[in-house]
C-alpha cells in the first residue's frame, strides 16, 4: 500500500512538473542582428577600430538596401564569413545570379560609409 501511494505521488509530481514546463515561456532565440554582429566582428578586428559598429552598420544600412531576401542573406553570409561584402554565386538561386553585380553597385556607398565612418550612418 505504501509503495502504491509513493508511486502515485511520484507520478503526480512528474505530471505537475511536465505541465509547468509546457506553460513556461520558450527560451529566447538570438536576435538575427546580434547573431550577425557576433559572427562578423571577429573578422573585422585588426581592420577597424570599432568592429561591432562596422558590423552593425553593414547589417543596418548596406544589407538593408538589398530588397531581395536571397541576395541579402548571401551578402550577410559573405560579410560574416569573410569580413568583406561578398556573394558566392552558389549562395543564390541561378535565376538571381545576374543580380549580384547590380547588388554590389547598390550597396557600394553605404558599405564604404560603414567601413570608414560608421558613426555618420
Report field, pTM of the whole predicted structure over 0.75: no
Those residues whose C-beta lies under 8 Å from the C-beta of residue 71, and which sit 6 or more positions away, are 87, 92, 96, 99, 100, 103
* Residue 36: HSE in the Cβ half-sphere, 13 Å Cα cutoff: 20
Q: Which long-range contacts (CB under 8 A, 24 or more apart) does 23-29 make?
A: none
The string of pLDDT tens digits covering residues 28-65 is: 667 889 999 999 999 999 888 899 999 999 999 999 99
R_g over Cα of the chain = 24
The string of pLDDT tens digits covering residues 67-88 is: 999 999 999 999 999 999 999 9
Residue 7 has pLDDT above 70, yes or no: no
Centre a 10 Å sphere on the Cβ of residue 62 and count the other Cβ atoms it contains.
Answer: 25
Amino acid at each position: 500500500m505504501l509503495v502504491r501511494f509513493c508511486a502515485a505521488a511520484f507520478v503526480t509530481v512528474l505530471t505537475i512538473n511536465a505541465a509547468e514546463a509546457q506553460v513556461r515561456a520558450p527560451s529566447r532565440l538570438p536576435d538575427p542582428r546580434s547573431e550577425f554582429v557576433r559572427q562578423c566582428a571577429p573578422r573585422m578586428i585588426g581592420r577597424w577600430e570599432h568592429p561591432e559598429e562596422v558590423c552593425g552598420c553593414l547589417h543596418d544600412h548596406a544589407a538593408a538596401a538589398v530588397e531581395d531576401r536571397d541576395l541579402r542573406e548571401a551578402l550577410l553570409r559573405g560579410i560574416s564569413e569573410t569580413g568583406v561584402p561578398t556573394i558566392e554565386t552558389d549562395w543564390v538561386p541561378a535565376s538571381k545570379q545576374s543580380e549580384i553585380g547590380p547588388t554590389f553597385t547598390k550597396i557600394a556607398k553605404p558599405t564604404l560609409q560603414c567601413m570608414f565612418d560608421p558613426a555618420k550612418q
